[in-house]
Amino acid sequence: MATHINTDNQDASLASSADLAADLGHLGVAPDELQQTLKLAGLLQTSLELETVLNYFLEAAADRFRFDGAEFTYPPLEAELQFGSRRAHTCAYRLKLAGEYLGELVFSRRSRFAESELQTIENLLSQLIYPLRNAIWYQRALRSAQIDPLTGINNRTAMDNMLTREVDLAHRNQTPLSLIVADIDFFKAINDQYGHATGDEVLRQFSQAISENLRSSDIVFRYGGEEFVILLTGTNREDAALVAERIRGAIEQATFACERVRLKLTASFGAASLAPGDGPEALFRKADAALYQAKEAGRNCVVSHQPELHIQEANG
């Protein structure tokens, strides 16, 4: 039967390494154990990466008691980290500090955990809780800096970072990569006629409609205003045009219910694929130029950037 411990009512806490040393000294902790404790406390404060902090903690924990696997989950950041293999017997800790939920950590192994081991785990958790909170706060700050507050999707900063990374990977692995730039047709008229609150709701529903027509590996960004960018990994030019057409058709068929009005919208799309020698800026420029052509062609259509043909004339 699994062992389960809930620490909701006894939050693990650590004020500082100095406080910890004083507390353990009064309790008569052996010098060697005190040295290990202070070393771990210092190590956990050297990183703000969630996985790194947990790795440091679990490496130290493995020296103090035996376990086969550990799992950490923190749903607000969609963090699910698995270490080792899960076994039948577990001890689970719901981590909180001053009422703030910091995730759940579960240890498992083939045999039951002894009471002395559970006490050791709880003592170790007292060293983890503050560095864990700091890492979570840091990850939250990073995420909020890359999320568009209106639509809840990735913003332009996130696009710049991800596009640079994916272009590098595509060149290195010689895999296809495509980009779609989408723009709501006549969006200014919606703001002018119905107000900015309605316009904001249109943007939210438009971004959702795009997301619903993408694969899980594809990423949509709000580039600015009513312009959106879609990053398609492992996708060539022909397939990117098909994706853009599918989204265009879905937008055209949808009805956007905003407060007291129901609106029909269309959108224009430009698609382009990465070519040898292209950087992130070049790929975006090609897709943006294709979008401009779609608007010039009457809007509510998809234009795919055509690769340039290089023809070498024969001598003689």
The pLDDT mean for the chain works out to 87
Of 87, 121, 144, which residue constitutes the final position of a domain? 144
Element (H, E) at 311: none
CA–CA gap between residue 53 and residue 44 (Å, rounded)? 6
The total of structural domains in the chain comes to 2
Set 226, 227, 259, 313: catalytic member: 226
pLDDT band for position 10 (50/70/90)?
Answer: very low
The parent domain of residue 113 ranges over: 17-144
Does a structural domain hold residue 63? Answer: yes
CA distance 14 to 291: 55
What percent of the chain is predicted at pLDDT more than 70?
85
Tell me: the pLDDT tens digits for 129-179? 999 999 999 999 988 889 999 999 999 999 999 999 999 999 999 999 999
Which pLDDT score, from 0 to 100, does residue 40 have?
Answer: 78
Q: Which amino acid is at 235?
A: T
> Is 51 marked active-site?
no
pLDDT, position 36: 67
Q: Which residues contact 258 (CB under 8 A, 6 or more apart)?
A: 194, 198, 201, 202, 205
Residues comprising the chain, all counted = 316
CB atoms < 10 A from the CB of 4, how many? 11
Contact between residue 133 and residue 100 where contact means Cβ atoms under 8 Å apart:
yes
Note whether residue 4 is domain-resident.
Answer: no
Show which of 88, 111, 144 is a domain's final residue: 144
Judgement on whether residues 229 and 264 belong to the same structural domain of the protein: yes
- Residue 7: which of 81, 99, 84, 70 has the closest Cα? 99
- Is residue 10 domain-resident? no
Q: Residue 316 falls within a domain, yes or no?
A: no
DSSP label at residue 147: B
Helix ranges restricted to H, 212-277: 237-253
Within-domain flag for 309: no
Confidence check: pLDDT of 231 > 50: yes
Give the relative orientation of helices 115-145 and 50-62 as an angle to the nearest 10 degrees.
170
What is the per-residue pLDDT across 261-294, written as a single tens digit (0 to 9) for each?
A: 999 999 999 999 999 999 999 999 999 999 999 9
Residues 102 and 206 in one domain: no
Express each pLDDT in 113-141 by its tens digit.
Answer: 999 999 999 999 999 999 999 999 999 99
CATH number at residue 212: 3.30.70.270
Boundary residue ending a domain (114, 144, 174): 144
pLDDT above 90 covers a percentage of the chain that reads: 77
**End-to-end CA separation in angstroms for the chain:** 87
pLDDT at residue 5 in the model: 37
Residues 65, 45: Cα–Cα separation, whole Å: 22
Residue 314 belongs to a domain: no
pLDDT of res. 207: 97
CATH number for the domain that contains residue 89: 3.30.450.40
What pLDDT band is residue 260 in, cutting at 50, 70 and 90?
confident
**pTM score > 0.85 for this model?**
no
Look up residue 76 and give its amino acid.
P
Stretch among 31-45, 51-65, 67-81, 93-107 having the lowest mean pLDDT: 31-45
**Which pLDDT score is estimated for 313?**
44
Question: 140 with 160, same domain?
Answer: no
